[in-house]
Amino acid sequence: MKKGTVWTDQELLDALAGSNQVNEAILQLYQGYYAVMENYIVQNSGTAADAADTIQETMLVFLNMVQTGKFRGDSSINSVLYGINRNIWLTTLRKQKSRANRDRAYTSEQEREVKDISKTMEEMEGYQLVLSLFERLGSKCKRLLHLFYYESMSMKEISEAEGYTNEQVARNTKYKCMKQLIDRIEGNPQLYQLVKNALENGKEIR
């Protein structure tokens, strides 16, 4: 076959199926169909580099089809190459979308973990502050308030565990302890809010 001659589909298939002119036949395919396949990919969210990779894979698939007898020329080479190229590119796009979704999910999870860690640190700092304030109220108040806010015990459970005469006595004691605590911090709005938040993280003030 002379150089510069445009080969027919059958001539291309014969050359690809043989062993002497495979390279020349592949060159003919590139020259005849590369631009069309590249245009499809670029018009469908791809780049020239994406097109080069996809077209190379398309050519390899087509060559294998011819050499294994899976394609005998029942359809035009143009339509077969277009179909292979399209399928490979759509598969690539699906994989890219799936990977992007996984990346977004991973990033979202990381951001959530950072927020959770920050919140935990704030809660720990608030907890340590509250404990230091409880210390100033005396051991009895410290114990009662800790059980209520951080051990989630009811006033009935606290009265039984700590030996109060009854639940109402325990409630009265808690009220007096909380009044002492509030008296110490109400002049500092920021401190008051921090303590309030720390207590609410344990149990809602009631």
What global pTM score does this model have? 0.48
Give me the pLDDT at residue 40, please.
Answer: 92
Based on the fold, state whether residues 93 and 152 are members of the same structural domain: no
85-109 pLDDT tens trace: 999 999 988 888 877 776 676 566 6
Structural domain boundaries enclosing 34: 9-101
160-205 pLDDT tens trace: 888 988 888 888 888 888 888 777 776 777 666 766 666 666 543 3
How far apart are the C-alpha atoms of 33 and 121, rounded to whole Å? 62
Q: Is residue 2 part of a domain?
A: no
Domain boundary among 42, 73, 101: 101
Q: Is residue 122 part of a domain?
A: no
Domain count of the fold of the chain:
2
Sequence-distant (6+) residues with CB within 8 A of 44 are 89, 93
Question: Between 146 and 64, whose confidence is greater?
Answer: 64
What mean pLDDT, rounded, does the chain reach? 78
Q: Residue 18 in contact with residue 49, Cβ under 8 Å?
A: no
Give me the pLDDT at residue 34, please.
Answer: 93
